[in-house]
Chain A
Amino acid sequence: MTRLPIDPPVRTLADALALRPELLAGIRELAAALAAEPSLSPALLACCRARVETLVGATSSRPAPPPAPDAELACEFVEQFVLDPHGITDDLVARLAARHSSRAVVTLAQAAALWEGIARLARAFDVPADI
C-alpha cells in the first residue's frame, strides 16, 4: 500500500526526493560527510545501518554487510535510538565512550538519525531506501 502517494509513482527514494532536488542533494551531502568521518570504521557503520533498516522495516539494494567484530555495542546504541531514545542510559553511553571517542559517539548518533530518517521516508513512500 502506498502510504504517501506521489503522482507519477516513483521507484526509489531518490526518485521521490528528486521532486525537491535541493533536499536530495543536502541529504546526500550529509550522508557523505558522515561516511567520511574517520572516527568509526565503514564496516561498523554498515552493520549499524543495516540494523536500523531492519528495525524500521525498510529495504535497500545494498548487500547485507559482513559482521563487524567491534560493532555490537554501537548496534545496541543504534537499536535503542530507533526503538526509544529515552531508553538510552548513562551507562550505555559511558560504555560506548569508553571504547570510542566523543567524536565517534556523536557521529554514530548523527548517522543513526539520518539512517532512521531515510528508512522511514522509504517506508512512507513504499520504495527502497536508496538515495
Chain B
Amino acid sequence: MARLPPPDSVTDDARRYGLLAHAPGPLRAFLRLYGGLWQDGVVDQATKEVVRLRNARTTGCGYCRNVRFDGARAAGLTEESVALIDDAWATSTLPVRHKAAIALTDVVLGRRDAALDVPFAPAEVVELAVTAALCLGFSKIAVALGTAPADMPVTVVPSPAPPE
C-alpha cells in the first residue's frame, strides 16, 4: 500500500505514475531517459529485458518481476527463457549473450566482481550497465514508497517510450 497520499491534481502523469507525479520535473526527465533507453538503444530489447528482470528478482519488486515489455517479447524472449533468469543461470540453456547480460547486471548490483568475457561492444556494455542502474533505482522506489504489489500476474505492457 502506498505510503504517501496521491497527488492532489488529477493529471495524466498522476493517473499513470501515481506518487512519482508529486515531483513532475524529475518524473518527466526520467521518462525521457528511460523511454529513450528502450526505444533508441544499441542493444536489442530482449537482452535489456534480461537485465531488467535480473534486477527485479534481486531487488524483489513484485511489479517489476511480473511485468514483461512487449518489445522484448517481439525480439524473442519467451517465458521459458525468463524462468531461467534465476540463481542457476550460469548452467542453464540461456544464450551466451543473455548469460553475459546477467553477469554484467550482477557486477553493477554489487553481487559479482567481474563480468564474463563476452563480445559486447563498449557502447553496449555502457547501455546494459545503465539499464541495470536505472532499473535498480526504479524498483527500489516502488518498494520504498510502497507502490509495488507483493505479487501480481505476469502482465505484458508496451515497452517504455519517451513522452510526447
A95 CB, min distance to chain B CBs, angstroms:
11
- Given A27-B33, A37-B23, are A6 and B122 also a contact pair (CB < 8 Å)? yes
A31 to B, closest residue via Cβ:
B29
Partner of A26, one of B33, B113, B122: B33
- Contact: A117 with B126, CB < 8 Å? no
- Contact: B19 with A4, CB < 8 Å? no
Tell me if B156 is interfacial: C-beta within 8 Å of chain A: no
Q: How far is the CA of A105 from the CA of B36 in the complex (A)?
A: 26
B122 to A, closest residue via Cβ:
A6
- Given A22-B40, A109-B145, A120-B108, are A6 and B125 also a contact pair (CB < 8 Å)? yes
- Chain A 106-121 near chain B by CB (<8 Å), digits 1 or 0: 1101111110111011
B105 to A, closest residue via Cβ:
A124
- Label chain B's interface by main secondary structure: helix
- Contact: A106 with B23, CB < 8 Å? yes
Q: B80-113: which have CB < 8 Å to A?
A: 104, 107-110, 113
- Label chain A's interface by main secondary structure: helix
- Contact: B136 with A120, CB < 8 Å? yes
- Contact: A20 with B141, CB < 8 Å? no
Contacts of A3 in B (CB 8 A): 107, 113-115
A76 CB, min distance to chain B CBs, angstroms:
12
Q: How far is the CA of A18 from the CA of B64 in the complex (A)?
A: 28
Tell me if A71 is interfacial: C-beta within 8 Å of chain B: no
B139 CB, min distance to chain A CBs, angstroms:
8
Which 10 residue pairs of A and B lie closest in terms of their CB atoms, listed nearest first? A113-B137, A26-B33, A117-B133, A85-B143, A33-B29, A93-B3, A106-B22, A30-B29, A85-B144, A33-B25
- Since A29-B29, A121-B133, A124-B107 are in contact, a sample of 14 more A-B pairs with Cβ atoms closer than 8 Å, ordered by chain A residue number, is A3-B107, A16-B126, A19-B125, A33-B29, A37-B23, A88-B144, A90-B3, A93-B144, A102-B7, A102-B22, A106-B20, A109-B145, A112-B137, A113-B138
